[in-house]
Amino acid sequence: LVGIDDTDNHESRGTGYLSRRLGHLIADTETGTVKGITRHQLYVHPDIRYTSQNSSACLEIETSNPGALKSLCIDFIKKESAEGSDAGFCFVKEDEIAAEIIRWGNAAKKKVLFLDDAVALAGKHDVFLEGYTGNKEGMIGALAAVGLKKEGNDGRFIWKSAMKELRELEPALYTAEHLKSLLDIDHIYTQNGKEVGNHDNILTSEWVRPALKKKESVLFVEKTDKTEDYEWKIATKEFV
């Protein structure tokens, strides 16, 4: 897992955009296979320095050469992080993430955390955690991102399955079965948590973001009254 945070400034594109660019670079150089990228919303508070929304990103990557992957990521973040950012980077095998780091991720959604504690926690569990720009406070969110992704019950996908980027999906009418295959997602649920039938019709929008729930990708939909053409439409961004 690769966690990154606070790579932007008020004029630049956000960390989510940078994480997708990094995903393309990893794929283009064949350094690894990007299984997904998730966005994790952290605590918003006046005592926390953040650019716009205080979200971090986590890339899930399969690789046979972790050393080359880590070097590629470090070089990219150092080069591409915006001026005035406080970029942080975390690199760790998913099965080596301790429960204490998962708790750190959940805490980062609820309260103000501190850089010294992030560094100490990463050192305690032998997790690679570094900062490259500014005061390096992005290390707090980078460590949180890998913990939240490991737990598997937070955030939403901004990239799914290698080069299949969700932003490229054209708004159209799909069956649930087709949409699951197209986006490589596990389930399509109603807002009440019920599975939608494979042959039900769903109208997509320009904003399609599956959520990470119980370590699976879940697309949420809401009921529509236009039953003559389709039963469901993509749930609102606010709900997700």
pLDDT per 10-residue tile (average), the chain, 240 residues: 81 81 94 94 73 83 97 96 89 98 97 96 98 93 98 93 60 91 92 94 88 95 79 90
Residue 191: the pLDDT is: 93
Q: Are 40 and 148 in contact (CB under 8 A)?
A: yes
Classify residue 72 by its DSSP letter: H
Residue 82: the pLDDT is: 84
Residue with tokens 């406070």: 137
Structure tokens at 163: 């080069």
Residue 184: the pLDDT is: 87
pTM above 0.85, yes or no: yes
Residue 205: the pLDDT is: 84
Residue with tokens 């993509």: 234
